Amino acid sequence: MDMRIRGISSSHNAKISIVDITESMIEITKLQNTNPLVTVALSRFTAANCLVAMELKNSERMTTNLISEDGLVKKMIAEFQDDNLRAFAQNRDFDCTNITSNPIKATVGECGNLIVKQDLHMRDPYISHVDLINGSIDKTFMNYFKSSNQVKSFIKTTAILDDELNIKKVVGILVQLLPTHTNKDIDYLEEKMGNSNHVAEVLTKSTNYASLIVEIIEDAIILEQRELKFACTCSEEKVIDSIKLLGEIELQSIIDSEETINVVCEFCNREFSLTSEKIKELI
C-alpha cells in the first residue's frame, strides 16, 4: 500500500514527511513503458512532488513540470490532489546504451526549469519557477523551497530497481525547519540526517515509517498517516473542453470531413474518440 506520513518536533522546530509510492509507480511506468533510466527519474520526481504537496487540503492541487533543455527525458509532469497522484514523461524510451556520463543526470539534464503550480482555489494559482540544479532532482526541489518559501529543507528521494530493471521500491523523505528554528536545530538535523546515501538506504529498508520518524527526531509526534494511490483525472468532458479551443471554423471543418478525433491521455493511455456527430454538438 502506498502511503504518506507526517510528523512534527516542537523541541527541534522541524517537520518531517515520508512517502512510499512504490505501487503507484509500478503501475505508471508499466502504462508508459518507460526505460530503466526514465523509470528511476520519473519515480523520484513524482515522490518529490508528493512531498512538496503534503500541506495541501480541501482538494487543492499541486502540479510540477520539469522542462529540460539538455536532458534526454525532455519533460516530466507530476500531479497530486486528494491523496491521488499521476505522472508523465515525454521521452520515455530513448537508447540508454551510449550514455557515458552520470545516467540520471543525462536523463534529467542540467539546463532547464522546475515549474511548481499550486491550485489553492483562489483566483489565480500560485506558480514558482526555479532552475535545475546540476541534474539533481533533490537539489532542485530544495532550491524551490529556499526560493519560494525561504525555508531550509532536506529532501532525499530514491527509486530501487530489481534484477529485471522493474521498480522494487520508491520512497522519499522531506525535513523542513520551522520559522522558529535556531542554529542548534540546524546542527542537530544535519547530524541526524548525515550522509544522504545512508538516508536513502535506511528508507529503502524500512517498513515502519512512524518508527523511522521517531528514530530521526526522538520527540516527533505523528500528525497523520494516509493511503496514496495512482488515479488519473482524465475524462471525456475534459477532452471536449480542449476540443472546443480549436475554434468554430476548425470544428466545422472536422464535421464536414466526417472525421473522428482520437485523443490519448498522456498519463494513463486511455483513448477517447469523438465522432463528427459529437463534435457537431459543440457548435
pLDDT digit string (tens) for the chain, length 283 residues? 999 999 999 999 999 999 999 999 999 999 999 999 999 999 999 999 999 999 898 899 999 999 999 999 999 999 999 999 999 999 998 988 888 789 999 999 999 999 999 998 888 889 999 999 999 999 999 999 888 877 788 999 999 999 999 999 999 999 999 988 889 988 888 887 776 777 888 888 888 999 999 888 889 999 999 999 999 999 888 888 888 777 777 777 877 787 788 888 999 988 888 887 777 776 6
Is residue 22 within 8 A of residue 2, CB to CB? The reply is yes
Nearest-angstrom CA–CA distance, 134 and 111: 8
Q: Give yes or no for a contact between 112 and 131, defined as CB atoms under 8 angstroms apart.
A: yes
> Is the overall model pTM greater than 0.75, yes or no?
yes
Q: What is the pLDDT of residue 30?
A: 95
- State residue 252's pLDDT score: 78
207 closest CA partner among 15, 17, 18: 18
User: Shortest CA distance to 171 belongs to which of 134, 199, 144?
Assistant: 199
Task: Please answer whether residues 120 and 60 qualify as being in contact, where contact means their C-beta atoms are separated by less than 8 angstroms.
Answer: yes
Cell 530514491 maps to which residue? 158
Asked whether 272 and 263 are in contact (CB, 8 A), the reply is: yes
The residue count of the chain comes to 283
Type and span of the H or E element at 255? helix 248-256
Distance, CA of 30 to CA of 34 (rounded, Å): 7
What is the chain's Cα-based Rg? 21
The rounded Cα 18 to chain-centroid distance in angstroms is 14
Domains and their CATH numbers in the chain: 3-230 (3.55.30.10), 236-280 (3.90.1280.10)
In one letter, which amino acid is 231?
A
Residue labelled with grid coordinates 526560493: 147
- Does residue 109 contact residue 133 with C-beta atoms inside 8 Å? no
Residue 267, exposed/middle/buried by CB under 10 A (0-12, 13-18, 19+)? buried
Task: Report how far residue 50's alpha carbon sits from residue 149's, in angstroms, rounded to the nearest whole number.
Answer: 17
C-alpha cell at position 200: 536513502
What pLDDT, on a 0 to 100 scale, did the predictor assign at position 6?
96
